[in-house]
Amino acid sequence: MTLAIVATRAGLGLEAPEVHVEVHLANGLPGLTLVGLPETAVKESRERVRSALVNAGFDFPNTRRITLNLAPADLPKEGGRFDLPIALGILAASGQLPVEALEGMECAGELALDGKLRAFPGVLPFALATRRTRRRLIIPRECAEEAALAGDLEVLPADNLWQVVAHLLGQEPIAPHRLGPRAKAEGLIDDLAEVRGQHQARRALEVAAAGGHNLLFAGPPGTGKTMLASRLPGILPPLSDDEALEVAAVRSVCGLTLDQHWGRRPFRQPHHSASAAALVGGGSKPKPGEISLAHHGVLFLDELPEFSRHVLEVLRQPLESGTIHLARASHERRYPAQFQLVAAMNPCPCGHLGDPRQRCQCSNAQIQRYQARVSGPLLDRIDLQVEVPALPAQQLTAQTQGESSAAVRERVIAARERQLARGALNSHLGGRELEAACALQADERAWLAEVLEKLRLSARAYHRVLRVALTLADLQGEPRPAQPHLMEAIGYRQLDRLLKGG
């Protein structure tokens, strides 16, 4: 047989389209031709495969003309994952391996010059796509644990090329990989009980967790803003199996390990010097950014005004849609970005505006310029804006602890169950569904309209006030928000008053 076809998959973001490695041996001038839109790393596989075959004890058909086609031809092929299927295709086409042995299986892996198999990024999306075809999957042993997360899939881990061939020949079958036990994530999360005082900020954190709302902490340095933000994942409900797979798939595409991260709510904290591409994703071959790595978790932006204005503005669209669409001249990717934004900022450049412990040294012009670095449209998308004041020494040294994360999480889960019974979390409700769920009375509408006019809140801010009020009602088990809920929700929108101490 001079023609062999091996099934594998390319990596296009979170997608893994099927690729057929077609190998044909013919008489003629000896040589190896590789076609099918391969990039540099794929072209270099010719030398890796040649050395791996020889060093593993197989014959390389040096006297034949070898044509390798990676089909479909218009699909870009990247990375070293095609080494193993190319090597198996050459062995099958040259008669060293039965073509029938390649049926019903997919494979991938980079080859070392001595025939050992090396891991490659994007294993989990590959495995999920293979599972849908009901085929077996042969991959490097380093990738086996990640691939097994896909569930109902026969994963065959191999250390080297010789082991793969021995399995396909029926000489030494490879035992399917079994998924090992996973450590519980709860023990790795900071507890809310460690936070002293800051009752309003703790309340806002619970409301944010219950409704999936974005949150901004404003206050002097050292008041616990970062500490509070880091406790949010601990009061969020555990990830479902499907959500955990989505989180793991993004990490897999980025080449990040899953150790101690499986089932955890992501918490990403990029530095304020991060570029727009680092935050939302990008590059000539677009890769996920911080907002996608925070999918189903928390993105914490500390020192919010210190971020570039352009960097902050690119967050506006994914905050609304929950996805990011990255388009380049020759590449296009769509990544999930359904995250909760938690931000923290000082009220002024020196940080001590409204701080009773230390006098602010900033002029009014400096304060205005500093606060103006965060645009109004971005603030409109942040539902809860909370002051975190400096605590008296008595509260800092007190032995009493606050409520634990576990206790708060129980209320959050109960509130979310009420929301999901309506169809979606409150932060994701559309205008019509939101109005129907709130069902405000005529006098409540008139009062709310008067307050909105006085505070000059936008239409987007109006709907976000309703969403927060509905979450407050859900936390109390009420069927709809009443005026006290609306008053508390509006209190979370008065950022100017909070920052200026008015």
Element holding 193 (H helix, E strand): none
With 60 as the cut, is the pLDDT of residue 183 above it? no
114 and 12 part of one domain: yes
In a domain, 70, yes or no: yes
pLDDT at 396: 63
**Structural domain includes residue 488:** no
Distance (Å, whole) CA 85 – CA 287: 25
- Cα end-to-end distance, the chain, whole Å: 84
User: Domain check: are 211 and 353 in the same one?
Assistant: yes
Residues 204 and 164 in one domain: no
- The answer to whether residue 271 sits within a structural domain is yes
Residue 261's pLDDT band (cuts 50, 70, 90): low
Verify that 195 and 330 share a domain, yes or no.
yes
Has residue 464 been placed in a domain? Answer: no
DSSP for residue 424: S
In the chain, the percentage of residues whose pLDDT exceeds 90 is 66
* Residue 174 amino acid letter: I
Contact between 270 and 276 (Cβ < 8 Å): no
Q: Residues 144-153: pLDDT tens digits?
A: 999 999 989 9
Q: Which CATH number is 405's domain given?
A: 3.40.50.300
pLDDT of 184 over the 80 cut = no
| Chain centroid to CA 248 | 8
| pTM for this entry | 0.89
Asked if the structure places residue 461 within a domain, the reply is: no
The Cα 10–Cα 333 span in angstroms is 14
pLDDT at 445 (0 to 100): 87
Assess if residue 200 is contained within a domain.
Answer: yes
Report the pLDDT averaged over residues 488-499.
71
Q: Are residues 35 and 160 located together in one domain of the fold?
A: yes
Residues 257 and 223 in one domain: yes
More confident position, 437 or 179 = 437
Domain boundary among 120, 140, 168: 168
Tell me, yes or no, whether 163 and 266 share the same domain: no
Domain boundary among 141, 168, 195: 168
* CA distances for 51 relative to 40, 48, 105, 353, angstroms: 18, 5, 24, 68
Q: Alpha helices of 254-294 — where are they, by DSSP H?
A: 276-280, 290-293
Taking only the tens place, the pLDDT of each residue in 96-130 is 999 999 999 999 999 999 999 999 999 999 999 99
Task: Describe the crossing of helices 459-475 and 199-211 by its angle, rounded to 10 degrees.
Answer: 100
**Domain harbouring 162, CATH code:** 3.30.230.10
Q: Are 377 and 457 contacting, i.e. CB atoms less than 8 angstroms apart? A: no
Could you tell me the pLDDT band of residue 143, with boundaries at 50, 70 and 90?
very high
Domain encompassing residue 379: 186-392+401-424
Task: Give the dihedral of Cα atoms 321, 324, 329, 330; nearest 10 deg.
Answer: -120
Report the C-alpha gap between 390 and 396 in whole angstroms: 10
What's the rounded mean pLDDT across residues 329-337?
Answer: 86
Using the predicted structure, report yes or no on whether residue 185 has a pLDDT greater than 60: no
Average pLDDT, the chain: 90
Give the DSSP letter string of 319-354. HHHSEEEEE-SS-EEEEE---EEEEEE-SSSSS-TT
Q: Is residue 493 part of a domain?
A: no
Distance separating alpha carbons of residues 78 and 37, to the nearest angstrom: 9
> Is 181 inside a domain boundary?
no
Among residues 168, 196, 229, the one where a domain terminates is 168
If one counts the domains in the chain, the total is 2
Residues 313 and 384 in one domain: yes
The per-residue pLDDT for range 407-458, each reduced to its tens digit, is 999 999 999 999 999 989 999 988 888 888 998 888 888 898 888 888 877 7
**Within this chain, do residues 207 and 164 fall inside the same structural domain, yes or no?**
no
Looking at residue 331, its pLDDT comes to: 77
Burial code (b: 16+ CB inside 10 Å, e: under 16) for 31-52 equals: ebebebebeebbeebbebbbbb
Q: Are 67 and 112 found together in one domain? A: yes
Give mean pLDDT, residues 463-475: 93
| Rounded-to-integer distance, Cα 92 and Cα 2, Å | 8
Both 370 and 225 in one domain: the answer is yes
Same domain, 163 and 228: no
